[in-house]
Chains A and B, each alone.
Chain A
Amino acid sequence: MKMIRAFIRPEKEQEVVLALEGAGFPSVTKMPVFGRGKQKGLQVGPVHYDELPKTLLMIVVDDEDEKQVVKLIHEKAKTGFIGDGKIFVSPVDTAYTVRTGEEGL
């Protein structure tokens, strides 16, 4: 299994989640985060924003679905401007459902 962590624009969150739901991946955990990237924040006139608000979506999928989910998030969260965010993929050994105690997604 793979854990996909996508840092995206907050306003793109609903679009991404609905697209994932449509593709059969309804499960997602989201949290508001603040971060900065290569550009070290944002300069608007005299005001410098060091950290910008983003939404972190966390999705755990089977190995074979990884590419599809990453592609989908990429397509939907893209605006082409700086600050679209990053997607990280990391390995997950096992997943358990608390209600049943079973292993697997």
Chain B
Amino acid sequence: MKEIVAIIRRDKVPEIKQVLEDLGYPSLTIQSVDGRGKQKGAMCAEMDSEMPDSYCTAAKLKPTPSTYALEHTLPKVALYVPKRMLTIVVPDDVVTKLVKSIIKVGYTGKHGDGKIFVAPIGGAVRIRTGEMDGEAIA
């Protein structure tokens, strides 16, 4: 068993859910997280269009030439960028397939597309029935 932890853009969640469902692995856990990568957050101009205002004070200003100039000379204003973290536990043999499809759907080509981590899982239990390991995630 492997755990796939995918930290992706917020607007890609419905598509990825659909793709996972089509592949036969509909079970997942979704969490709202804030993250930063090598770019140490995001600048105003680079941020997601759906970024909430609280993440960017300059975005609240009316776009006039002076505020535009201000926006583009601002230092890194957002320390964190909102992301969604998907956690999926699957059998070993389908990990590559799922990772590839998540990358295919989550791709935009810009910074901030996210990371996917694959980690081993020692055991699993389905609480309702008490089934262990492989049966629990089937």
**Chain A residues near B (Cβ < 8 Å):** 1, 3, 17, 21, 26-31, 58, 60, 90-99, 101
Evaluate contact between B83 and A29: CB separation under 8 angstroms: yes
Identify whether the interface residues of A are mostly helix, strand, loop, or mixed.
strand
Is residue B103 contacting chain A, with contact meaning CB distance below 8 A? yes
What is the bound-complex CA distance between A27 and B39, given in angstroms?
Answer: 8
Chain A nearest Cβ from B137, distance in angstroms: 17
**Bound form: Cα–Cα A28–B40 in Å:** 9
- B36 interfacial contact with A, CB 8 Å: yes
Q: Which residues of A contact B34 (CB under 8 A)?
A: 29-31
With A93-B118, A98-B116, A101-B103 already in contact, the answer to whether A31 and B40 are too (CB < 8 A) is no
Chain B positions 99 through 121: 1 when the CB is less than 8 Å from some CB of chain A, otherwise 0: 10011001111111111111110
Tell me the bound Cα distance from A61 to B71 in angstroms. Answer: 33
Known contacts A3-B117, A93-B118, A99-B110: A28-B35 contact under CB 8 Å: yes
Give 10 pairs: A residue, B residue, CB < 8 Å, sorted on A.
A27-B35, A60-B117, A91-B120, A95-B116, A96-B118, A97-B113, A97-B115, A98-B103, A98-B106, A99-B110
B89 CB within 8 Å of chain A: no
The answer to whether A29 touches B35 (Cβ under 8 A) is yes
Q: Which residue from chain B places its CB closest to the CB of A98 in the assembled complex?
A: B113
Task: Report A-chain residues with C-beta under 8 Å of the C-beta of B114.
Answer: 98-99
Interface residues of B in 84-138 (CB under 8 A from A): 85, 99, 102-103, 106-120
User: Which A residues touch B73, using CB under 8 A?
Assistant: none
- Contact in complex: B115, A96 (CB < 8 Å): yes
Q: Measured between alpha carbons, how far is A95 from B5 in the docked complex, in Å?
A: 9
A contact residues around B83 at 8 Å (CB) = 29
How many angstroms between the C-alpha atoms of A1 and B2 in the bound complex? 15
Residue pair A21, B117 in contact (C-beta under 8 Å): no
Q: Are A29 and B117 in contact (CB under 8 A)?
A: no
Report whether A29 and B113 are in contact in the complex, using a CB–CB cutoff of 8 Å.
no
> Is the beta-carbon distance between A31 and B33 smaller than 8 angstroms?
yes
Give min CB distance, A52 to chain B, whole Å.
19
Inter-chain contacts of B67 with A (CB < 8 A): none
CB distance from A43 to the nearest CB of B (A): 30
Whether a CB of chain A sits under 8 angstroms from the CB of B8 is yes
Query: Does B18 lie at the interface of the complex (its beta carbon under 8 Å from any beta carbon of A)?
Result: no
